[in-house]
Amino acid sequence: MTKLLIGSHVGMKAKKFLLGSVEEALSYGATTFMFYTGAPQNTRRKDISELRVEEARQLMIDNGIDIDQVVVHAPYIINLANTVKPETFELAVSFLKTEIERVHEIGAKRLVLHPGSHVKAGEEAGLASIIEGLNQVLTPDQDVMIALESMAGKGSELGTSIDQLSYLIDHVTLSDKLGICLDTCHLNDAGYDINDFDAILDEVEEKIGLDKVLAIHINDSKNPRGAHKDRHENIGFGTIGFEALNKVVHNPRLENVPKILETPYINDHAPYKDEIMMFETNTFNPHLKEAYEAK
């Protein structure tokens, strides 16, 4: 029986750095995980030589975690869609190049990227800017794949539809270096029906290709479908619900795709061990929140 490929976002802190990230993932019973190579809000980065990568990779090997199925998330400050401030675009290009190199040094292959926000310059200008930026960043010999994340449509976010993601991939020169990351909360808030996830996958298959799905973010939503707000909720406590999300996690078309939880902490505690357990046992725990709130 194939193991369920599921984990969560984990931290990376001194002094254990990536080794601590792997230990955290294992404490949740995870078979994959997602991390940032540094704080997502700034450009300060520790040299890869300080991150205890070899120890982390050995611990992954010892516990059956394949680094090819581990996910790295690019920092939020990268905005390739910004045409209003040239310095923001230039920073996005240079910093994304650096992040790709860092991911390569670590040995991972999947880097999730928010496509960007056009900052009131309009969809057409923003999409063109993302394409220009990716054309500057991507190289023929890189082994790191960029997964453009599906977004909720908050503010001037781009990548809010499968059509937009398809357009970006189709117009970037090195499109073979691109894929997508589907986020269930974002899809819901963008107007897609997670209860009919196979219809979403059918559209992805037709317009992009299912082989381009490099990661799935598994999140419930605090908002009704189409709200364009992007507020994650714990599994089974939002408007999507456990049943629909459980079907996503166990969809055979996504068997080899890493599924990553980004649900909120409850009373300053990570709920990921119990949320992973719910998916492994196909059983919703309606008392999850009250148990954490009592801690």
Enter the tokens of residue 46: 């520790």
Q: What is the pLDDT of residues 146-163, one digit of tens each?
A: 999 999 999 999 999 999
Q: Report pTM.
A: 0.97
183 annotated ligand binder: yes
- Model pLDDT, residue 39: 87
**Spatial distance between the Cα atoms of 74 and 214, rounded to a whole number of angstroms:** 14
Q: Does residue 242 carry a pLDDT above 60? A: yes
Angle (CA) 215-80-41 rounded to 5° is 75
114 annotated ligand binder: yes
**Spatial distance between the Cα atoms of 247 and 252, rounded to a whole number of angstroms:** 9
Enter the tokens of residue 230: 């992007």
Query: How would residue 42 be classed by pLDDT, with cut points 50, 70 and 90?
Result: confident
Query: Could you tell me if 258 and 215 are in contact, meaning their C-beta atoms sit under 8 angstroms apart?
Result: yes
87 annotated ligand binder: no
232 annotated ligand binder: yes
Query: How would residue 1 be classed by pLDDT, with cut points 50, 70 and 90?
Result: low
What are residue 243's phi and psi, to 5 degrees?
A: -60, -45
Q: What's 6's DSSP letter?
A: E
Domain of residue 156 covers 4-292
> Among candidates 184, 187, 173, 113, which has minimal Cα distance to 147?
113
- Model pLDDT, residue 149: 98
149 annotated ligand binder: yes
Report the SS3 class of residue 197. helix
Report the SS3 class of residue 260. strand
Query: How would residue 86 be classed by pLDDT, with cut points 50, 70 and 90?
Result: very high
* Residue 262 CB neighbour total at 10 angstroms: 16
| Domain total of the chain | 1
**What average pLDDT does the segment 264-285 reach?**
97
**What average pLDDT does the segment 106-128 reach?**
97
Query: Could you tell me if 60 and 35 are in contact, meaning their C-beta atoms sit under 8 angstroms apart?
Result: no
CATH number of 285's domain: 3.20.20.150
Query: How would residue 40 be classed by pLDDT, with cut points 50, 70 and 90?
Result: confident
Which alpha helices (DSSP H) does the chain contain, by range?
18-27, 53-62, 86-106, 123-137, 162-171, 184-190, 197-207, 242-249, 272-281, 288-293
